[in-house]
C-alpha cells in the first residue's frame, strides 16, 4: 500500500470542511424547527389567504 499523495490529503481536508459546513447547516435548521414547534400556533405565516382568525369578531346584537 502506498501513502496518500498530497492531492488526496488536500481533497480529504476539503471534504471534511464541506462535511462540517453541512452538519452545521443541518443543526441550525433543526434548532429553528424545534423552536418553532415549541412555540405552537403563535407563529402563523402570512400567505395572502383570509383565515377565520383574521376576521373581526361579530358583535352580539340581541
Convert the pLDDT of each residue in 11-28 to its tens digit: 999 999 999 999 999 999
Instruction: Let me know: does 19 contact 27? Beta carbons within 8 Å.
Output: no
pLDDT value of position 51? 73
- Residue 57's pLDDT band (boundaries 50, 70, 90)? confident
- Residue 3's pLDDT band (boundaries 50, 70, 90)? low
Q: Which of 54, 35, 38 is nearest to 46 (CA)?
A: 54
Distance CA 33, CA 49 (A): 23
47: pLDDT strictly greater than 90: no
Distance CA 43, CA 61 (A): 33
Query: 52: which residues sit within 8 A by CB, 6+ positions away?
Result: none
Amino acid at each position: 500500500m502506498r501513502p496518500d499523495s498530497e492531492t488526496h490529503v488536500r481533497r480529504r481536508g476539503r471534504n471534511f470542511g464541506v462535511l462540517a459546513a453541512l452538519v452545521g447547516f443541518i443543526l441550525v435548521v433543526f434548532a429553528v424547527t424545534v423552536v418553532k414547534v415549541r412555540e405552537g400556533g403563535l407563529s402563523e405565516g402570512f400567505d395572502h389567504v383570509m383565515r377565520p382568525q383574521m376576521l373581526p369578531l361579530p358583535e352580539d346584537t340581541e
